[in-house]
Chain A
Amino acid sequence: MTPRRIEFEILRYDPDKMQKPEFQTYLVPCEEDWVVLDALNYIKDELDRTLSYRWSCHMAVCGSCSMMINGEPTLSCKSFVRDLPNQVCIEPLNNFPIERDLVVVLDDFLGKLNSVKPYLIPREKKSLEEGVYLQSPAQLKKFKQFTLCINCTLCYAACPQYAHDENFVGPAALALAHRYNLDSRDVGRTARQDVVASNLGIWECSFVGACSEVCPHGVDPAGAIQQAKIASTGDYFMDLILPGRKS
């Protein structure tokens, strides 16, 4: 098959040389089985070596190639050109500051991820000799879905609450907190609740659900947040009835 010529309108920004971001257009002969990332690589190799964007795995597992494709937060390595029209608009991810071209600054997200202590906090630390922490398949099933996050931040780009208030802890971080809270080997829930159950944690979410729609791995962060709301509501009333109880 002859390649299809697609016009890519790409938002360019070089903070050293430009006042504000501007679109630049590239005509790319695309093969049928290409994804948008292939087209970007073609541009970089053949047309314009100054174009900056992040990518690594080319198979939807590293989460680094996120961008807005025709206005939708999408992994560019998962977006086939055959599903796109002859004109495609590519912009850096919404709701994040631009570092350069399609590369955005992720510091805010990484800070939030850290704030929910996204690691196992076991009851007692075991030495290597003592072996692993055991868990049954049924216990694993409770949270497995929430382990699938690849930190692509598409959910932050889709979230209108994060767009409104950047202090919102946001979908992926809250889903990850929920993942560890549900883990039978973990006892860190109380420590995470200070962030999770605050006004800027789960309670900032109004259940628009856009995060779950754009998530490339079916994590369903919106679902995680709603489950966390139910659990935290239980906590709240238990704390009222039994102040100072251990949760």
Chain B
Amino acid sequence: MKRSHKPIIWSLFAAGGTFTAFMIPVMILITGLGVPLGLLPAQTLDYESVLAFVQHPLTRIALFGTIFLTVWHAAHRLRITAHDFGIRADRVVATIFYGLAAITTLVALVVLALI
């Protein structure tokens, strides 16, 4: 049998899953608990401070990595979920979800470069 090319997508899926599993709790801690409960200064999430934070070159790279891995993880997850729900038009499903992931990656790249 021919060896599969699935490792390309799966590596993004696996890396994205692992990464977001660590990332999401931190985000919830900062945005959902830290600031609302007053554990962090209120201006942490001000437009100006967030903008300055995002404009730092390291943040841009980190954010791009986060968005890139997360959307490809989500795309592959949704493709599998569609399959598990009995939708067998795998090619169509894959094209739609991977297409959306590709567009999101591109938009993230442009926005983060220009911001």
Q: A160-B84, A208-B84, A233-B11 are in contact. Are A200 and B1 (CB under 8 A)?
A: yes
Q: Are B1 and A237 in contact (CB under 8 A)?
A: no
Which of B4, B8, B10, B83 has the largest count of A CB atoms less than 10 A from its CB? Answer: B4
Contact status B14-A201, CB under 8 Å: no
Q: For window 177-229 of chain A, which residues contact chain B by CB distance below 8 Å?
A: 193-195, 197-201, 203, 206-208, 229
Is there an interface contact between A198 and B10, defined as CB atoms closer than 8 Å?
A: no
Q: Mark B1-36, 1 if CB is under 8 A from A, else 0.
A: 111111110110010000000000000000000000
Interface residues contributed by chain A, number (CB under 8 Å): 21
- Contact check, B84 vs A203: say whether CB atoms are below 8 A apart: no
Decide: B7 and A199 in contact? CB cutoff 8 A: no
In the assembled complex, A134 has its CB within 8 A of some CB on chain B = no
Judge if A236 is at the interface, Cβ distance under 8 Å.
yes
Give the docked Cα–Cα distance between A203 and B84 (Å). 15
A230 at the B interface (CB under 8 A): yes
Provide the B78-110 mask, 1 if CB < 8 A to any CB of A, else 0.
001001100010000000000000000000000
Q: Are B3 and A197 in contact (CB under 8 A)?
A: yes
Which residues of the partner chain B approach A207 to less than 8 Å between Cβ atoms?
80
Given A206-B80, A206-B84: A194 and B14 interface contact (C-beta under 8 Å): no
**With a CB–CB cut-off of 8 A, which chain B residues contact A95?**
none
Among A193, A197, A235, the one with the most B-chain Cβ atoms within 10 Å of its Cβ is A197
Whether the pair B3, A237 counts as a contact (CB closer than 8 A) is no
Contact assessment for B6 and A195 in the assembled complex, using a CB-CB cutoff below 8 Å: no
Tell me the residues in window 51-86 of chain B with beta carbons closer than 8 Å to chain A beta carbons. Answer: 80, 83-84
Question: Could you give, for residues 41-84 of chain A, a 1 whenever the CB lies within 8 Å of some chain B CB and a 0 otherwise?
Answer: 00000000000000000000000000000000000000000000
> A232 to chain B: which residues have CB within 8 Å?
7
CB distance from A69 to the nearest CB of B (A): 24
Q: How far is the CA of A206 from the CA of B76 in the complex (A)?
A: 10
Q: Are A197 and B4 in contact, CB atoms less than 8 angstroms apart?
A: yes
Q: Output the residue of B3, B10, B83, B88 with the most chain A CB within 10 A.
A: B3
- Smallest CB–CB gap between A116 and chain B, Å? 11
CB atoms of A229 and B3 under 8 A apart: no
The answer to whether B7 and A198 have CB atoms under 8 Å apart is: no
Whether the pair A194, B84 counts as a contact (CB closer than 8 A) is no
* Contact status A233-B14, CB under 8 Å: yes
List A residues at the B interface (Cβ < 8 Å): 160, 164, 193-195, 197-201, 203, 206-208, 229-230, 232-233, 235-237
Q: List 30 A-B contacts (CB under 8 A).
A: A160-B84, A164-B88, A194-B1, A194-B3, A195-B1, A197-B3, A197-B4, A198-B1, A198-B3, A198-B4, A199-B4, A200-B1, A201-B4, A203-B4, A203-B6, A203-B10, A206-B83, A206-B84, A207-B80, A229-B7, A229-B14, A230-B14, A233-B11, A233-B14, A235-B7, A236-B3, A236-B5, A236-B7, A237-B7, A237-B11
Residues of B within 8 A of A (CB): 1-8, 10-11, 14, 80, 83-84, 88
